[in-house]
Structure 1
């Protein structure tokens, strides 16, 4: 509710408790003029700019109120019917003040807002997790982000997803010889080291055989399941900074093959 000082035209916000205690007579906090706040009391302000709030002129006869919201129990009548005496003192509700929603204290509004803030934070964290999972390969390869993720996983006991980067695979040694027990086959051995800062999945090994003129006479692509019999090692991947020996069996293309080369995919 709002009331206006008739002298300086300052508009003040009022509440029912203040008006009830002063019987409508208040003092202007701007010009110190005493005035009747009930004369210009209004529940809403007119559109700005405005000069004066409308005054309420007395009609001579008090208005009759009809919209009842509460009626106390007749303790004396109930006591007479039951033969008991009413309590010496009843509860006093005169100190209660009913205020509209917009006039509630700020701390109550903050208490109503915190569930929404918490829900927004949870949704934001889920969105960040979804984006991190979509960009997991780039994050694991990145030197800074990958190091932080590995440290976090080591603390939590989890494993990062394997990321393929064959540029960090180094061939340390290789050898080709006739298979000792299978006629018409070659036994190829190689030693591979993972120089990356992260674990990698086992690569596809490509073996290419060439003749004396450098022309390719045979090529074989071996998937990890074809040259690795350990399922647990296949799932764990090639650890970072470690070397491993690979043993491959391929068909002998004959005397035409005099050179061979390795590559990884």
Structure 2
């Protein structure tokens, strides 16, 4: 900002803080005349050549201030201008709330529904992945234990997971069927070494001759060797034993060995 001495016409660069402290009255540094700088105050110099800065007389009408850059919140308390803190230049007690801080707070308030929606979608995605990998999770020692405990508390039941590699054949025997001519009665005891319940396996019976050549084979579905539908639905309990009784056709005297497998 610029102001002009009315006596010697010297133009000076003015500082707003100095003008505010002196209420616009300054002393010319050239001719030492005191003058009101507000009467000739200008934001920029007019194009040269110029002699006088345009003067401003008091119009008697107060200008309206509309371009607000800051407004305190209602709960903020400001120290009066006449207090000792203001007179001594100590503004540490004043509380300011910049406009960008209020806008950030308002934006955070509008953002939380999106955060909740994203969290719900993330949980749904995790649930879909867990369902797709349920067999792996149930078979895992740690995750399967947590899932079984959670299901016990909720009153639900985990789906059966099959792992025939954890089924162990403890005993087996074959003999002629006591009541059906031309048939063999095979009994076997199987144990589930897994930490989770398994569905009943498909049992394969292979008969071979003295040279080890296969002469007969049969695959038995669980419904063929289990007569209890409830036991079929429950599956083979973790760590439990089960006795299986299988009926197969007798291939004759050539069959001297047999083998039982699980699928």
- Please confirm whether the aligned pair reaches a TM-score higher than 0.5, indicating the same fold: yes
Secondary structure at 2:198 match in 1? coil
1:65-80 → structure 2 map (5 Å cutoff):
none
Determine if the alignment matches structure 1 residue 135 to structure 2 residue 138: no
1:119 match: 117
2:150 match: 152
User: Quick one: distance in 2 between partners of 1:238 and 1:33?
Assistant: 95
User: Quick one: distance in 2 between partners of 1:33 and 1:206?
Assistant: 105
Secondary structure at 1:247 match in 2? strand
- Counterpart of 1:109 (choices 85, 107, 110) is 107
TM-score normalised according to structure 2 size: 0.62
- Counterpart of 2:229 (choices 205, 225, 231) is 231
1:260 match: 258
Secondary structure at 2:243 match in 1? strand
Which entry has the higher C-alpha Rg, 1 or 2?
2
Determine if the alignment matches structure 1 residue 179 to structure 2 residue 142: no
1:37-48 → structure 2 map (5 Å cutoff):
none
TM-score normalised according to structure 1 size: 0.61
User: Quick one: distance in 2 between partners of 1:254 and 1:131?
Assistant: 53
Hey, which bits of structure 1, 4+ residues long, moved more than 4 A? 31-35, 101-105
- Counterpart of 1:198 (choices 189, 196, 199) is 196
TM-fit CA distance, 1:107: 3.5
2:241 match: 243
User: Quick one: distance in 1 between partners of 2:107 and 2:18?
Assistant: 33
TM-fit CA distance, 1:149: 1.5
- Counterpart of 2:186 (choices 185, 188, 195) is 188
Secondary structure at 2:218 match in 1? strand
Secondary structure at 1:198 match in 2? coil
User: Quick one: distance in 2 between partners of 1:32 and 1:188?
Assistant: 112
1:75 match: none
TM-fit CA distance, 1:246: 0.7
TM-fit CA distance, 1:110: 2.3
Q: Which runs of 5+ in 2 are unaligned?
A: 3-15, 22-42, 45-55, 62-73, 75-98
User: Quick one: distance in 1 between partners of 2:155 and 2:134?
Assistant: 18
TM-fit CA distance, 1:195: 0.5
Change (3 A) 1:32 1:260: farther
TM-fit CA distance, 1:157: 1.7
User: Quick one: distance in 2 between partners of 1:110 and 1:121?
Assistant: 16
Change (3 A) 1:105 1:249: same
Q: Which runs of 5+ in 1 are unaligned?
A: 1-5, 8-27, 36-53, 63-94, 96-100
